Chains A and B, each alone.
Chain A
Amino acid sequence: MMRAFLTLLAMAGALGAAPVGYRVIVDTAAFAGTDAQVEFQFNPGGTPDAATAEVSALAGIASFTNGPRTGDVTGSNPWLFGNSVLPNQLFLNLTGLGALFSFQVVFSGDAIDNPAELDGTAFTMTMRDTGGNVLGGFSEPSLWLEVSGGAVLPLMQDQQITLSEIPEPRAMILMMSGLLLLAVRRRCFPG
């Protein structure tokens, strides 16, 4: 009985893991070997809920350099965006695109942990060529994630984009606690 309960606890943690971020994978096969730009924006949408977006772990490029930035954007790999002002914008120059360009974006703050309203903050990503034009076949924005009501929801994404959810840490902790308790029980009461 106890074992079943602990297993359920572990499973509940895993199943209930609402995403607070995504690994974003962009199919850039049509542009492999060329240079490009990526534009990120993270802009408030009317609520007082503070939120941050951390962009990191760029992959699928030979190298990058920081381009112009506006508003509440700090750091470099990772880059941290706040939503206290508007607009918050960052351009990165990407050299040597591979077949798949990817990055990770993780959100935190009251908009996730203690939301007051659903009118959220928008995180957008736009793929551009080196001249600043939207890359052929992509939209502007190429990706739109809405951070509100304690969740991060993809509202729009181009077909070249795949998202893998990053579960929230507290759900991971719940899951790991369940697994740990299960392991302790097995050790103390074998069979």
Chain B
Amino acid sequence: MLSWLISDPLEVGSHAPEFSLPDERGATVSLRELRGRNVVLVWYPGDDTTVCRKQLCELRDEWAELTRRGVAVFGINPQSAESHAKFRAKFGFPFPLLVDSGQRVGKLYRTHGIVAKRTVYVIGPDGRVRYAKRGKPAVSDVLELLD
């Protein structure tokens, strides 16, 4: 009934758009260089806001399981490197937070809005989208996919 309201993320099976973005320390992360690994990209609206905190903390808490599967995980939104650095340090995230200035990459991944739309992508080793979901899917869903 409300399908007209839904803006879909990229389709599963489609090629994930290439990107290079700086993380909170200024190091550049390129999707191309991660080819051959599963990559989890988590677009979240705001650093240190309640739901985002919960979402990224859940990934942190499953870090042992994620690393066992050789996954690269990144949080992404357009906030500044300084904001990301504070957020990462405060909660001890073991994964980088990427700075998507102007939501340039968010537009490619259909996550752009007045703030980033909460969206989780898993990009497969072949560079194709394996999983794309709006909201805050359970980490177990992602882990299951990677088993």
Q: Which residues of A contact B (CB under 8 A)?
A: 39, 41, 43-48, 86-87, 89, 115-119, 122, 124, 126, 139-141, 144, 148-150, 155
Contact = CB atoms under 8 A, between A and B. Distances in A.
Contact of A141 (B6, B45, B48, B54): B54
A70 to B, nearest CB: 10
A166 B85 CA distance: 41
Residue from B48, B53, B113 with most neighbouring chain A CB atoms (10 Å): B113
B38 interface: no
Given A116-B5, A118-B5, A118-B6, A140 B49 contact: no
B50 A126 contact: yes
B114 A43 contact: no
A119 B2 contact: no
Contacts of A86: 45-46, 49, 115
Given A45-B45, A86-B115, A124-B51, 18 more contacts: A41-B50, A43-B49, A43-B50, A44-B115, A45-B117, A46-B114, A46-B115, A86-B46, A87-B46, A87-B49, A117-B113, A119-B7, A119-B134, A122-B49, A126-B50, A140-B54, A149-B5, A155-B135
B84 interface: no
Contact of B2 (A118, A144, A155): A118
Q: B interface, by DSSP: helix, strand, loop or mixed?
A: loop
Contact of B113 (A47, A89, A139, A149): A47
Enumerate the 4 nearest inter-chain pairs by beta-carbon distance, A residue then B residue, closest first: A46-B113, A46-B117, A124-B50, A118-B5
A44 B115 CA distance: 7
A140 B53 contact: yes
Interface residues of B, number: 23
Given A48-B113, A119-B134, A141-B54, A43 B5 contact: no
B46 A47 contact: no
Given A87-B46, A117-B5, A118-B5, A48 B114 contact: yes
Interface string B45-79: 11011110110000000000000000000000000
B121 to A, nearest CB: 15
